Structure 1
Amino acid sequence: MSYDALRHFADSWGLVAMTVMFLTFVGWTFLPHARAAHARAATMILEDDLQDGEQANG
């Protein structure tokens, strides 16, 4: 396979593959089963938690 053929293949099918992967990742984010995990991640920084047995000062 020559460089030009490989470059043409990567330009066409590489773009298709990256588009499909992008749409899959974006779609995966909005699946109903992930709602609880995303809600927890969105508020995680606001929660008080214990670190090494000491209460965090805030």
Structure 2
Amino acid sequence: MTEAALEKFSAEFLTERLRASGALPRGRVTAVDVGERRPTLISTSAPLRLDYSSDAPAEAP
């Protein structure tokens, strides 16, 4: 994943994708924290920590 691709993962984008997959039936992603980036030869990976609105289910991914 490139640095530019990481920018794609906004709170709005992730809310839409999680809703579409059925993983977030209510509530929304309110913040995305991109963790330490780990570059490799062909990509960059990074963990994402998501914060949710108070009405999101406790088991939200």
Q: Give TM-score scaled by structure 2 length.
A: 0.26
Rg comparison, structure with higher value: 1
The structure richer in strand per residue is 2
